[in-house]
Structure 1
Amino acid sequence: MSRRDGAADELLVRRIFAEHGAALLAYACRLTGDRARGEAVVQDVLLRAWRHPEILGGLARASLFATVRDIVGGAPAADFALLGAVETLPPEQRDVLNALYFQGRDVAETSASLGVPAGAVKERSYQALRRLREVMAG
């Protein structure tokens, strides 16, 4: 492996962690019931993404969450369907759901972190959850 490949691989892992790390950790902790185990699962996911970047495909986030689920020992198929549905949301709605539900932030914290008014956070959350209910209902 050349130096350039190693640097590119390291950047890939850093980018994945920056974009998805908090949500992956929250999900892994919820599935395992243990933060230390959740951290180990996320490290394993990052290692797999580094070794096999093709797992990222077009739905990177859904693929990463599926990998967490595979490592932990599986979860209902509805989880994968829900993650796929989340990937179809506009980015601003996904960002709000990520902050509120995966990172455990409240509306004020989400508003500050995303740089949008609290009212926009509430509206985006409402619209996103409404859309997810529609998709999951069939």
Structure 2
Amino acid sequence: MSAVHNEASGPWAADSAASGPSAAEALMRQIFDEHRAPLLRFLTRLVLGQRELAEDLVQETFLRTWRNLDTLAADPQRIAPWLYTVARHVAIDAIRSRQARPQEVNLPDLNRVSSAEDVMDRVVSAHTVQVALKQISPEHRQVLIEMYYKGASIAEAAERLGIPEGTVKSRTYYAVRALHAAIGSTESS
């Protein structure tokens, strides 16, 4: 029975929920709280400001700390020098492994690259709208051109066309409906 108890002791031991954190967990929490921020600054400088990489290296350093917690607990004076030595070695290993790999290439997002079909769709759509614009009344056509092609506000369109703003609003509403109907008749032809 005591052999089983010895195997379950140390930082890897699983405590019951009622017993609270073990001494190893408390020591690890203390080491983490005291050294995380200084280690992150140290590693960020070593990796030339790459914060995400530095954070990964801090995690790796604390993982190694957890694995060696029994030996570190024996001499608390060695914890800080040991942490910085391990952090430095972890950083060097990371830099070497990145240099050994071929350089990463950023590929374009294929979902955002336009294809020949997209260009043709736009050409067909533009042609369809041009044909449909010729089928609606000149008043409707003028208001759509002012509002949608020239980007005029209601007030600007009213001033340019010499009509009240309310008329611009209603003509725009009916012009869009008429254009929609004209596009439907153009596509069915």
> Greater share of helix residues, 1 or 2?
1
Report the structure number with the largest CA radius of gyration. Answer: 2
